[in-house]
Amino acid sequence: MSAPSPGMKALLDRLSVEDAGLPDPTTLPAFQGRALAALSNLRWNENLPEMAEARTVSIADMAARWVVPPKGSGDRVILYVHGGGWAFCSAATHEGAARRLALACEAPVLSLEYRLAPEHPFPAGLQDVLEAWSARSRDRRWTLAGDSAGANLALAAMLQMQQEDLPECALLFYGVYGADFSTPSYRKYADGPGLSRAKMMRYWDWYASHEQRGDPQVAPLGASDAQLSRLPPLYLNAAEIDPLHSDTEALAERLAALGRSDRFDHVEGVVHGFMQMGAFLPEAREAFRKAGAFFKDVPHEFRSTHNREEIS
């Protein structure tokens, strides 16, 4: 079992005190679990970075949060899909993450409020991401980003997009890409800390039936080599102490075998969801920095194959 970094251990110790006696939100009725998860995640919004602009907007008749960093030309925009097991969290719980991503990339971030399971199982959330993407403004260049279940939705959306409508790159953080609960990381970190195998199994039961899990739009690791080959450049990271680590590792290995040059960062000593903790955790701030560096250095050969009207 890998040891948490000093900063991660301090936060885990804090959580053990603050959350003592609280139930596992995935064992509650969804609306109750969602409220508890919101309270748990909103604490990470302390010391929010200052933005030039931060407001609630609408895209494709869905609410979204628009944040603009003090520095950045604004000709590139990131559509961000929050995590939470397809069932929990919101743009509000991920406000800090969206702002830190905007700062690191020097670009505005639009954080989408998509429909949540179990009230709205697959394909509702994916359809919302695709509708928001189709409704984006055409005078800017767009990128997709997401964490955990949001990374799943972002990747699944790209698998469905037409080639000429793809983003110029995507930033995917500790994503859910498969429904195999016997991978090395699921076995090693079945009981957490934090995310556990039992929690992920309940999230999956809320989101998609067993029959649907063979669909690459549900579990993107099932995509063909041809489908993966046509994706734009990807930035991937994975938390070391995370049942989902093997998902990203397997995706990165498949992409590398296709001769692609995507970026995969293995982040040692941290648990699933660590980028939520950017106000307190150095590893989170460094992860945003690396994602921002990748975003700013999207391979020119990819950009040059898409004119501004096609991808903006």
pLDDT in tens, the chain (312 residues): 789 999 999 999 999 999 999 999 999 999 999 999 999 999 999 999 999 999 999 999 999 999 999 998 679 999 999 999 999 999 999 999 999 999 999 999 999 999 999 999 999 999 999 999 999 999 999 999 999 999 999 999 999 998 889 999 999 999 999 999 999 999 999 999 999 999 999 999 999 999 999 999 999 999 999 999 999 999 999 999 999 999 999 999 999 999 999 999 999 999 999 999 999 999 999 999 999 999 999 864 454 344 333 322
Catalytic annotation present for 272: yes
CATH number, domain containing residue 32: 3.40.50.1820
φ, ψ for residue 194, nearest 5 deg: 80, -120
Query: In the numeric block, which tokens belong to residue 132?
Result: 């928001």
Q: Is residue 167 part of a domain?
A: yes
User: Is 215 an annotated catalytic residue?
Assistant: no
94 included as an active-site residue? no
50 is in which domain, residue-wise? 6-311
Determine the Cα–Cα distance for residues 208 and 220; give it in Å rounded to an integer.
13
Of the listed 40, 148, 185, 196, which one is catalytic? 148
281 occurs within a structural domain: yes
**Size of the chain in residues:** 312
Kindly compute the dihedral angle of the four CA atoms of residues 79, 85, 90, 96, in this order, to the nearest 10 degrees: -70
**Residues in CB range of 145: below 8 A, 6 or more apart:** 78, 79, 80, 81, 101, 109, 154, 170, 171, 172, 173, 291
Whether 16 maps to a domain, the answer reads yes
Look at the chain and report how many structural domains it folds into.
1
Coil vs helix vs strand at 271: strand
Domain for residue 300, yes or no? yes
Q: How far is C-alpha 115 from the geometric centre of its chain's CA atoms?
A: 15
Q: Give, for 158, the enclosing helix (H) or strand (E).
A: helix 149-160
Q: Which of 82, 94, 245, 272 is catalytic?
A: 272
CB proximity list for 181: less than 8 A, separation 6 or greater: 197, 200, 201
- The verdict on residue 32 lying in a domain is yes
Is 1 within the bounds of a domain?
no
Q: Which bin fits 269, alpha (ψ -120 to 50), beta or left (φ > 0)?
A: left
Is 209 a domain residue? yes
Overall pTM surpassing 0.85 (yes/no):
yes
257 lies in some domain: yes
Q: Which residue in the list 128, 242, 247, 262 is annotated as catalytic?
A: 242
